[in-house]
Structure 1
Amino acid sequence: MGLVGLFGAAGAIGGSVASALRASGRPYRVVGRSRGALEAEFGADPLAEIVTWNPDDPQSVKAAAQGLETLIYLVGVPYWDFRLHPILMQKTLEGARAAGVSKLLLIGTVYPFGRPQRARVDESHPREPHTFKGRMRKEQEDLVLGAHGRDGLQTAILRLPDFYGPNLERSLLYRVFQAALQGTRADLIGPIDTPHEFVFVPDVGPVVASLIDEPRAYGRAWNLAGAGVTTQREIVERIFSEVGRPPKLRVAGPWMVRALGLFDPFMRELVEMYYLQTTPVLMDDSALRGLLGEVRKTPYHEGIRQTLEAMKGAASSATAPLRPATARAH
């Protein structure tokens, strides 16, 4: 098995994929803009090679991808700058081909589907995005799929729903976990009783690690569904119950989201994606399970418990008294 590179490794999914590769003893390369962030996350792992890049520059991409067999693309952009998704994807594809990369996997989202046309969305569902963000993600997907078979490069896409896990500040549920631990009110975007699904981030890495080594995976997109259909209300009640507190909720409807958007750029950009709260995309991943066999999905109650334990541990470490440092040679 050749060397794997995680481009945009410092995010949540990057850490999960790195853990899966580490567990199998497989060396990997982490690529990002900030060496400091990569050192903080992966510096203690002898299997990790740290490389910085400029994703705007195909030559920088080529240099970062040199010697890789597989490139896993995890690059995020600010929510208000989604126009960058296809631009950066094109430059990465150019650099990857120039470097002789054999395989590329894009970690994608449900955005390209647009409004769901049926209760369960499999890979055959039309991609008809009605939002700008959805169109940018579709353009990104089209570039990846269009590159398959060119210059010896094989490509694939793995689409994820909303995700949660320890200390994921960008997760829809992060503030709920914080509120439960602190005994404060949880802020939610309503309606909160519509069907929804979430994937536990530590479950993603093993799927990715298996997918990249499966020859039949390339030339198409795959869906990874969550651990089952739930609702935001059910999840909040589980989280608060786990810490022994009654749930406290504050729900923002569409008009409140618009009002908050006057002051918060993230909330302003969230307005066009509000349809996901009322007509959620629930994915069918039977094709992926048929390809890989068993796909481990942590039940919500266990994922919630692990997330709370990790967040408690992080909070304790942050408030622990400083101890004298022990000098060591490196």
Structure 2
Amino acid sequence: MSKVALFGAAGAIGQSIAKALAAQGRPYRVVGRSEASLRKSFGADPLAEVVTWNPDSPESVEAAAAGIDTLIYLVGVNYWQFELHPQLMRKTLEGAIAAGVRNVILIGTVYPYGRARTTPVREDHPREPHTFKGRMRKEQEDILLQAHAAGRINATVLRLPDFYGPGVEASLLHRPAVAAVQGGSADMVGPIDRPHEFVFVPDVGPVVARLVDTPAAFGHVWHLAGAGVTTQRELVDEMQRQAGRRIPLRVAGKTTLRVLGLFNRMMREMVEMNYLMTEPLVMDDSALQRLIGPVRKTSYVEGVRQTLAAIPAR
């Protein structure tokens, strides 16, 4: 059985993928900067090998990738440091190739597309990002896909929409979920009545685990869509229904984000991406399902139930 490494493993998506690999009985390596963080998340799994790395050191990157067949790339950066995405991809890719890695799977986003020209969006949609973050993500992808085209490594990209799930704090839905369980109000980024989709994080891992063993996946971009089109408000309504509690909302649109951005760097960086809240971008993942077969998608009702159940009562 081929050996897999998750680079940037400590986040929610990495943990979902690790769980799916473990369910296959497949040994895997988790790679990150913090050994303590990795051991907290994966230390109880005998199939997990914990390795730390310094992405600025070619020797460290190559050592972290040694003996690996497939590298799953989940490396994140601060939202205000997107210029690092192509830099880190280039360094990781060079180290992986030097170590003899055969395959790379990049977990990507919709940012490189820019504004949607069609609904839904398929994988052949033009990549014409009009934002800095989109351009950096596109450059990251280009570095990887050009290496594939040159025959240096096999590469594929799996694009995800916004996500949510148990313990997923970096989600548009996290604060209303906490408020549903613990009380109080919730800050949200709006508008919250426009069509949107969310992927339930535990559904991602099994898809990635199947791609690892699908040679035809490489050399292409794939979409994993959510469980259907919804809105943030509909999901908040479902949280209120399940919790039996009203959730007062404070919704920040683009103008409010600009004002808050005068004092908060994170809010400032969210302004340019607010078009994804006002101009729906919904993905078509029929190509992925033709490739690997039917994909299990947790309903929003069940996803909300599991998300709320994971939040401790105050």
The structure with the larger Rg is 1
Mapping of 1:149-164 within 5 angstroms?
A: 150=150, 153-164=153-164
Runs of 4+, deviation exceeding 4 Å? 149-152
Displacement of 1:150: 4.5
Structure 1 residues without counterparts, runs of 5 or longer: 317-330
**Secondary structure of the residue that 2:272 maps to in structure 1?**
helix
Q: Distance in 1 between matches of 2:7 and 2:286?
A: 28
Deviation track 1:109-134 (CA, whole Å, cap 9, x = no partner) reads: 00000000111110010000000000
**Secondary structure of the residue that 1:158 maps to in structure 2?**
strand
- One-letter amino acid of the structure 2 residue matched with residue 177 of structure 1: A
Q: Is it true that 1:282 corresponds to 2:282 in the alignment?
A: yes
* Residue of structure 2 equivalent to 1:59: 59
**Secondary structure of the residue that 2:51 maps to in structure 1?**
strand
Displacement of 1:39: 0.6
- Cα RMSD for the two superposed structures: 1.1
**Secondary structure of the residue that 1:311 maps to in structure 2?**
coil
**Secondary structure of the residue that 2:235 maps to in structure 1?**
helix
* Residue of structure 2 equivalent to 1:140: 140
Q: Distance in 2 between matches of 1:80 and 1:152?
A: 31
* Residue of structure 1 equivalent to 2:68: 68
- One-letter amino acid of the structure 2 residue matched with residue 87 of structure 1: Q
* Residue of structure 2 equivalent to 1:320: none
Q: Distance in 2 between matches of 1:57 and 1:158?
A: 27
* Residue of structure 2 equivalent to 1:121: 121
Displacement of 1:246: 2.3
Mapping of 1:41-52 within 5 angstroms?
A: 41-52=41-52
Q: Is it true that 1:37 corresponds to 2:37 in the alignment?
A: yes
Mapping of 1:1-330 within 5 angstroms?
A: 1-148=1-148, 150=150, 153-312=153-312
Structure 2 residues without counterparts, runs of 5 or longer: none
Q: Distance in 1 between matches of 2:295 and 2:94?
A: 32
- One-letter amino acid of the structure 2 residue matched with residue 255 of structure 1: T
- One-letter amino acid of the structure 2 residue matched with residue 165 of structure 1: G
- One-letter amino acid of the structure 2 residue matched with residue 77 of structure 1: V
- One-letter amino acid of the structure 1 residue matched with residue 34 of structure 2: S
- One-letter amino acid of the structure 1 residue matched with residue 281 of structure 2: V
Deviation track 1:235-260 (CA, whole Å, cap 9, x = no partner) reads: 10101211111232221122111111
Contact preservation (8 Å) 2:180, 2:308: no
Identity %: 66
Contact preservation (8 Å) 2:261, 2:268: yes
Contact preservation (8 Å) 2:179, 2:247: no
Contact preservation (8 Å) 1:156, 1:218: yes
Q: Distance in 1 between matches of 2:108 and 2:165?
A: 18
Displacement of 1:306: 0.7
Displacement of 1:152: 5.0
**Secondary structure of the residue that 2:148 maps to in structure 1?**
coil
Deviation track 1:129-161 (CA, whole Å, cap 9, x = no partner) reads: 000000000000111111115465200000000
Displacement of 1:188: 1.4
Per mean C-alpha deviation after superposition, the further-off stretch among 105-114 and 243-252 is 243-252
Contact preservation (8 Å) 1:227, 1:297: yes
Displacement of 1:171: 0.9
Per mean C-alpha deviation after superposition, the further-off stretch among 290-299 and 244-253 is 244-253
Displacement of 1:191: 1.1
**Secondary structure of the residue that 2:31 maps to in structure 1?**
strand
Q: Distance in 2 between matches of 1:145 and 1:203?
A: 25
**Secondary structure of the residue that 1:106 maps to in structure 2?**
strand
Q: Distance in 2 between matches of 1:3 and 1:60?
A: 19
Inter-CA distance 127–149: structure 2 relative to 1 (3 Å threshold): closer
- One-letter amino acid of the structure 2 residue matched with residue 85 of structure 1: H
**Secondary structure of the residue that 2:44 maps to in structure 1?**
coil
**Secondary structure of the residue that 1:236 maps to in structure 2?**
helix
**Secondary structure of the residue that 2:170 maps to in structure 1?**
coil
- One-letter amino acid of the structure 1 residue matched with residue 282 of structure 2: L
Q: Distance in 1 between matches of 2:85 and 2:59?
A: 18
Q: Distance in 2 between matches of 1:222 and 1:42?
A: 28
Contact preservation (8 Å) 1:241, 1:247: no
Q: Distance in 2 between matches of 1:238 and 1:23?
A: 31
Equivalent pairs counted in the alignment come to 314
Q: Distance in 2 between matches of 1:23 and 1:150?
A: 34
Deviation track 1:67-97 (CA, whole Å, cap 9, x = no partner) reads: 0000000000000000000000000110000
Contact preservation (8 Å) 1:97, 1:151: no
